[in-house]
Structure 1
Amino acid sequence: MRRAVLLFLALMVVLSTLLGLRLVRERRAAEGPPGGSGVVEGTTVDVRSRLNARVLQLHVEEGARVEKGTLLASLDCTEPEALLAEAEARLAMARAQAQAAEATALASLRASEASSAQAAGTEAQREALAAQQGLATRQAERMEQMGEATTVAARDQARAQADALNQQLAASKHTSAAAGRQARAAAQQERASREQASAAAQGTQAAEASLRRARLSVAECELRAPQAGTVETLVLEEGELALPGTVLARLVDTRRPRATFYLPNAELAAARPEQRATVRADAYPEHTFSARVITVAHQAEFTPRNVQTRSDRDRLVYPVEVRIEDPEGLLRPGMPVDITLDPGREAVAERRR
């Protein structure tokens, strides 16, 4: 009986000691800087295919570290390359047609200018003949009025000269009208040639756009890393068909990892963007990582249905995301870490008081 009492007392002492130690630890944790536990997350990027083509060759393996621009996979580019050759040929033909149309337009312009000059010269000649014909007609009329004062031969010669100039003027009018119609036709031909040259130039632009699109398709036959990181997964194997939008590889960048932990409602005021933090990982107990707060959530999670009492308010938690500085790449996605917010100047001064 006495031994049982001693064992009971010893057990009570042990339990009291453990409870006291736990209370001390909880008090120290409450008095210490706020923080929490989180999981390391990397920046994940999916490399997708834009073509309907087979995987020709994989140039990396899963787990490989790659830099930005590293060739990850090559696709079968037979059809895109054929389309590229066709686009190049169409562009060469369009450029030749544009040059020919431009030369035709220039020739039409010169012909129109010559026709206009010829029409202007013909019109000037007609006006000169009209003036001569009018003068000759008046001269013949004056000689007719002179009667016996002049000879019959002189009167006949003046009348004949007036009649000849009248016929020449009529012919000149027809020639001038024909030259005017020819000039107008040449001007219309010149406008049509300019429109054809403009259409040929637009055809060249369309061919150039088709060539750029074909080159982009050929460039998509080589899938390269959009950023530095680690190849987490290769979804397709060589020989498999990649459809547009299919994920071929998944990259994870762990050089600037992130982690999210949760702060209770009572400690939320201690977190703010750009605040420094310290991160510790179980895998590296002797090593600490610097971090910086990038976001503090404005909305609580794990919210009770009815928040009425102070204890209920203390159950509210807010996610806080930090960016961890890990230039050596020691941390891995999914690795658990402990995050502690560094106290600010105001908190340090308050503790010293």
Structure 2
Amino acid sequence: MRRAVVLFIVLVVLLGTLLGLRLVRDRRAAEGPPGGSGVVEGTVVDVRSRLNARVVSLHVEEGSRVEKGALLATLECAEPEALLAEAEARLEMTRAQAHAAEASALASLRTSEAVAAQADGTQAQIESLAAQHGLAARHAERMELMGDAVTVAARDQARAQAEALSQQLAASRHSNSAASRQARAATEQQRASHEQALAAAQAVQAAEASVRRSRLSVAECELRAPLSGAVETLALDVGELALPGTVLARLVDTSNPRATFYLPNAELSSVRSGEPSTVRADAYPDRTFPARVITVAPKAEFTPRNVQTRTDRDRLVYPVEVRIEDPEGLLLPGMPVEITLSERSTAVAERRP
């Protein structure tokens, strides 16, 4: 009986000691700098297919590290390459048509200029013949007025000369009218040829755009890394069909690791964006990593339905994200860490009214 009492007393003392130590540790933690637990996160990028094609080959393995621009996978490219060849052939054809249209427009311009010059020449000829006809007609009238003073042959010759010039003048006027119509027609033809040349040039631009689009499709046959990082997953194997929008690989960039922890409402005043902090990882117990707060969420999480009492308000927590300095790349995504805010920021928060 006495032995049982002794064991009971020893057990009570031991439990009391453990409880006291736990209370002391909790109190020291509460009095220490604020912080919390989190996991290391990296920048995650999904590499997606833009084509409906089969996977021909994979050039990386899961877990391997790749540099930006590295070839990840090759897709079957027969159809995009055929479309590119067709677009390039159409481009050559439209360029030839554009050259022909330009030559036709230039020829039409030269023809229009020649016809216009011809019309100007006939107009000058009309003016010259009109002057000559006027002189011949007045000479014939004077010969008629002179009567028997001149011979009949001379009078007939004067009238014949005036009549001939009159006929030449009429013919020149007809020629000028025809030349003017030809000039107008040549001008319209030149304008139409110019419009055709412009349309051909626009067709060349459209064909060039089609070639660029086809080349982009061919370039999508090779999926490359958009950033440096580790290959977390490869979603497809060789021979599987990649549909547009299908995730083929997931990359994680660990060059700028981050971690998120949660601060209760009562400790929110102790943190501001840009303030320093310290990170410890279980994998490296004797080492700390400097970090800096980059964001403090403006909205609480795990919020009670009705916030009415002080206890309820203390249950509000706010996500805080820090960026960790890890130039050696020791911290891997998913690794648990402990984040502690610097004592300087805690002291500043305590001095705030």
Deviation of 1:348 (Å): 6.6
Runs of 4+ in 1 over 6 A off after TM superposition: 348-351
What's 1:13 paired with?
13
SS at structure 1 position matched to 2:133: helix
Deviation of 1:109 (Å): 0.8
Deviation of 1:65 (Å): 0.5
**Distance in 1 (alpha carbons) for counterparts of 2:130 and 2:336:** 109
One-letter amino acid matched to 1:218:
V
Deviation of 1:126 (Å): 1.0
Deviation of 1:34 (Å): 0.7
What's 2:284 paired with?
284
**Distance in 2 (alpha carbons) for counterparts of 1:158 and 1:263:** 124
- Matched ranges for 1:153-192 at <5 A: 153-192=153-192
| TM, length-normalised to structure 2 | 0.94
Deviation of 1:2 (Å): 4.1
- 8 Å contact from structure 2 (residues 42, 257) kept in 1: yes
What's 2:114 paired with?
114
**Distance in 2 (alpha carbons) for counterparts of 1:52 and 1:346:** 56
Deviation of 1:345 (Å): 6.0
**Distance in 1 (alpha carbons) for counterparts of 2:175 and 2:92:** 46
**Distance in 1 (alpha carbons) for counterparts of 2:90 and 2:349:** 77
**Distance in 2 (alpha carbons) for counterparts of 1:334 and 1:245:** 26
**Distance in 1 (alpha carbons) for counterparts of 2:346 and 2:191:** 82
What's 1:207 paired with?
207
Deviation of 1:147 (Å): 3.1
- Matched ranges for 1:255-334 at <5 A: 255-334=255-334
Measured against aligned partners, the alpha-carbon deviations of 1:126-161 in whole angstroms (never above 9, x if no partner) come to: 111112112221222233233344443332222111
Deviation of 1:107 (Å): 1.2
User: Could you list the runs of 5+ residues in structure 1 that have no partner in the other structure?
Assistant: none
**Distance in 1 (alpha carbons) for counterparts of 2:288 and 2:203:** 64
What's 2:36 paired with?
36
**Distance in 2 (alpha carbons) for counterparts of 1:45 and 1:346:** 36
Deviation of 1:5 (Å): 4.0
One-letter amino acid matched to 2:318:
Y
What's 1:336 paired with?
336
**Distance in 1 (alpha carbons) for counterparts of 2:348 and 2:135:** 119
1:61 aligns with 2:36: no
Query: Mean alpha-carbon deviation: is it higher for 243-252 or for 321-330?
Result: 321-330
- Relative to structure 1, the CA distance from residue 348 to residue 213 in structure 2 (aligned partners, 3 Å threshold; closer, same or farther) is closer
Measured against aligned partners, the alpha-carbon deviations of 1:100-126 in whole angstroms (never above 9, x if no partner) come to: 111111111111111110111011101
**Distance in 1 (alpha carbons) for counterparts of 2:156 and 2:192:** 54
RMSD over aligned CA atoms reads 1.8
**Distance in 2 (alpha carbons) for counterparts of 1:86 and 1:206:** 14
**Distance in 2 (alpha carbons) for counterparts of 1:143 and 1:277:** 126
**Distance in 2 (alpha carbons) for counterparts of 1:167 and 1:269:** 112
What's 2:49 paired with?
49
SS at structure 1 position matched to 2:51: coil
**Distance in 2 (alpha carbons) for counterparts of 1:242 and 1:132:** 90
- Relative to structure 1, the CA distance from residue 44 to residue 331 in structure 2 (aligned partners, 3 Å threshold; closer, same or farther) is same
- Matched ranges for 1:103-252 at <5 A: 103-252=103-252
User: Could you list the runs of 5+ residues in structure 2 that have no partner in the other structure?
Assistant: none
Count of residue pairs brought into register by the alignment: 351
State the identity %.
78
One-letter amino acid matched to 1:282:
D
**Distance in 2 (alpha carbons) for counterparts of 1:134 and 1:63:** 106
One-letter amino acid matched to 2:286:
E
Deviation of 1:346 (Å): 7.4
**Distance in 1 (alpha carbons) for counterparts of 2:220 and 2:261:** 40
One-letter amino acid matched to 1:57:
S
Deviation of 1:238 (Å): 0.6
SS at structure 2 position matched to 1:287: strand
**Distance in 2 (alpha carbons) for counterparts of 1:221 and 1:23:** 63
| TM, length-normalised to structure 1 | 0.94
SS at structure 2 position matched to 1:89: helix
